[in-house]
Chains A and B, each alone.
Chain A
Amino acid sequence: MTAPFSDLLLWTLLGTCAAAILALLPALHIYNVAGFLLLFGSALEPVLTPERLAFLFLGLITGYAMLNTIPSIFLSVPDESTLFIVLPGQKYLLQRRGYEAVVLSGLGGLGGVFFLALLAPVAARILPIVREILRPHLGWILWTVIAYLLLSEWPKGVDRAPAGWRRWWDAWRSLIAGLATFLLSALLGFILMYRPLVPLEVAYQNLLPAFVGLFAVPWVVQNLLARVELPPQHRARTLDLSPLVLLHGITAGVLGGMFAAFFPVVTGGIGGLLAGHATAQRDDRAFIISQGASKVAYYVGGLLLFFVPGLHLTRGGMAWMLSTRYSSFTPEAYFWATSVVLLAGTLSFFLLLALARVMMLLVSRVNYRVLSWCTLGILLLVVWAITGWGGMAICAVATGIGLIPALWGSRRMNCMGVLLLPIALNMVGLGDTVARLLGLL
């Protein structure tokens, strides 16, 4: 390491504070911010050396993983008629306990950070072995994940429709919508991977408009259409939580998050879902905690894998971007990275508490529809600014696909077909064949 620890720590904490503010902007993913930094990398080079950039990225990702809970809980509010399919986080919000949900998620994130610190002494010995064992099996494991994702949907009919086709449709529409979403997303993924429609200079942001369209815009559109009623939020002084539930949530989240961090393509959401099912969670509190832990394990753990000596695994967008400017091979760099993550994670937790209060104030003073329109405006502005009109077109199509699960009550995670199917087919050597059949090669 050429720079002193204090210097790198400073850059990390700077990244954490910047991420804390930026994470409040809905849909502005930290990968976009990192991309901008890369774009101006050569101009910033005299000050922002590759080593500093690496630690700045660590700060950014840690802050983002902890604080992006705030907009997802406070700004994505479902109406009560769809309460039975929404995440417990939103349920908490409608029970005026949005702040409590944010804190629970933050506790999970903090647990994830501590787990990553505990992993540090053994990571270099264990993880390379695990990778070698798993390497030949990645393909079928990914297919199993896809199968599980699709098969674990269940008919959501209410048995009130008249017998016959209408009842069948009532039961099966969500399943059909889920499959359609998965396949349409996959086709979109193939198009984007083999024939990017965004400018060459921002090819690394190729999936940004798709992700914004698939996941973020449908939420906002749904909120605007539903004209949701947001109850005043209560700032709790205590938490309804036992150590066992906390441990349960953190364990499940870390399992899912690390699974997602270690495996290509699997995201933190999928990892969280699998871990939640695997640990048979029934407790909303544990679920929210697990989501917080899963996010941190996925985002931060994924980037830390890049630093593990002897492993040097490039997982996640941040690591991919960093790999173009920086390499890490020494135990010293890994331990420094882990220690700054520990500090940044702790700082992020306190920033989370403070900024959650700011957000509570904001949503109580600004009309929720106005807030939703502003959110939509920011989303589209970000997409347009980074990827231009080509990106806007992709975003529009992705929004159409992303609205299908929202409107027919299937799992939004099916939109991950955009990555899962093309990559899974690539892993079994069929990706190029399918792309050729589609006329993309």
Chain B
Amino acid sequence: MAAEQTGEATSATRCESCGRFLGPYTTCPYCGARVAGRVSLRAVKVVAVMLALVGLLALWWIARRTPVPLLTVEQAQGTMNLAYVRLQGRITRSLTYDPASGYLAFWVDDGTGEARVSAYRDVTADLLAAGVIPAPGDEVELSGTLRIREDFVALTLNLAEHLRLKRPAPVAAKAGTLTVADAGLRVRLEGEVERIWLPYEGLTLITLRDGTGEIPVVVDESLTALTGALPEVLEGQPLVVTGTVTLYRDEPQLSPASVADMRFSAAPPPLAEAQPTPALEATLAPPATAMPPLATPSLPTSTPTEIPPTPTATLLPPRALNTLSAAEAGAWVRVRGRIVAMTGIKGGLKAVLDDATGQLDLILWQRFYDALPVPTAVDVGAEIEIEGELSLYEGVLELQPQSPRDLIVRTAAPEIPWVTLSSLSAQDAGRIVRLRGVTGIPESFSAGVKLPLDDGFGVITVLLWSNVAEALPHPPEAGMTLEVVGEVSVYRDALELIPRSAHDWRPGP
């Protein structure tokens, strides 16, 4: 039988004419006879190439349109290892961050279990540059590579854009009322620093006490590495802290998302449940609450300049920001607070007002801003009262004042910190800084002008959007000595400084 089959195989591969072995040839190389019934090698080559190219393109096309599957932690199992999946949930514990390696990790609870999310150097750098810094209590949606470990589920974040954060608005609370059931709740607490304790290197616990009880505020080294150094805090200082209630051995504690979420309070600020006092609101007296930012020791700051308030005939009572709602869109309201952020937008500036109960976007159109007595007094850190029309833009409430009389500066903004380029890095993206230097040759492009600025420590590109460039009294030119304020940005791995208005461009004499 073996011989027969060997014979079959032999006859199939031998020339019918001369009997010699042919292998894959369709024409006998010895006698030239054509062999019938064989598959053309050329056809096989064409099919192989087509299959490879067309098939690969088809797979690519399908892959691009295949949504990343949503997975719950409970569903995750060993056989899913290395799958690319989506996860939705809430960050439940403090972050782990190693500045040296760029490793960032946090735990996400989706209601069915917890997964550890990790990001490595490049992704972490992108997150920091974009100002996307996760914190306990944040609602997140992210995609990444699933890693099933022996005792937990892990997810590796491959791309910064694949992490979406939503930070819930804080609610006013009292220390004594918080319980285990409040874990995950984002709250705003006001109290007095009772004790500052360092259980070990890298962890600071600040016990905050109010009339109802006390609660520890957790500031660990990951938080300070990610959001800035913890300034000097003294026992007895009044403090307003916004953070998420987390648990340590079933005891509630408060985990702020940023060091900036801790603010000194010279006097008790209006909390959520505190209703405005008409008698106080009707006066022109400076606001009872002054909340200077926790100064970062390493940066130079200047003493705020007092700007005398402009008297007005009649004033609406200021409203607490957490009492404003979308239903009031179109209404004319008055609010007060401190400007905590200000960025340039097309046609003007957008400021974020914070009154310790909530935040509100202020739209300051260029004409309005230019008409202010001292425009630069209205910047980050300024204490103001402002009235205008409430409107809703893309689901976010904003206030638009109409004339300079609608704004009263109670305390002028401190001077923006002056820095040198040697102290700036990609992690400063989003910061408002002040630089001094000499300009290089300007270069126009479709949306504005950009030019280099040399401050003796390095060179940075200053980007003037067309609305800012056109508003300058004199066009920028090479060799100018000037001071520029602007927002640090990263474009193609290079730092840029983007002035927000023409007032940020301050040529020297």
Contact = CB atoms under 8 A, between A and B. Distances in A.
Interface of A: 35, 38-39, 41, 50, 79-81, 184, 187-188, 191, 193-197, 200-206, 225-232, 320-321, 323-327, 364-369, 393-394, 396-397, 399-401, 403-404, 407-408, 429, 431-432, 435-436, 438-441
A226 B66 contact: no
A80 B9 contact: no
Contacts of A435: 158
Contacts of B169: none
A301 to B, nearest CB: 21
Nearest to B3: A232
Given A365-B1, A396-B55, A441-B162, A201 B79 contact: yes
Contact of A327 (B66, B71, B79, B150): B150
Contacts of A229: 6, 9-10, 13, 21
Given A80-B23, A227-B9, A397 B84 contact: no
A440 B38 CA distance: 42
A435 B145 CA distance: 14
Nearest to B60: A191
Contact of A407 (B8, B12, B45, B62): B45
Contacts of A228: 9, 13, 23
B122 to A, nearest CB: 5
A188 B59 contact: yes
Contact of A197 (B9, B59, B71, B85): B59
Contacts of A35: 79
Nearest to A430: B122
Given A195-B84, A365-B2, A440 B9 contact: no
A196 B84 contact: yes
A204 B148 CA distance: 10
Interface stretch (B46-54, B184-192, B201-209, B459-467): B46-54
A202 B79 contact: yes
B48 A403 contact: yes
Given A187-B60, A325-B150, A368-B9, A396 B79 contact: no
B44 A204 contact: no
A367 B52 CA distance: 31
Contact of A323 (B12, B25, B85, B150): B150
* Chain B CB within 10 A, most for which of A41, A195, A232, A365: A195
A402 B189 CA distance: 65
B397 to A, nearest CB: 34
B59 A364 contact: no
B437 to A, nearest CB: 32
Given A79-B24, A80-B23, A232-B6, A429 B121 contact: yes
Given A204-B82, A407-B48, A197 B66 contact: yes
Interface in B328-369: none
A80 B80 contact: no
Given A188-B56, A396-B51, A396-B55, A200 B78 contact: no
B435 interface: no
A3 to B, nearest CB: 17
Contacts of A429: 121-122
Contacts of B441: none
Contacts of A396: 51, 55
Contacts of A200: 69, 71, 80, 83, 85
Interface in B35-94: 38-39, 41, 44-45, 47-53, 55-56, 58-60, 62-64, 66, 68-69, 71, 77-85
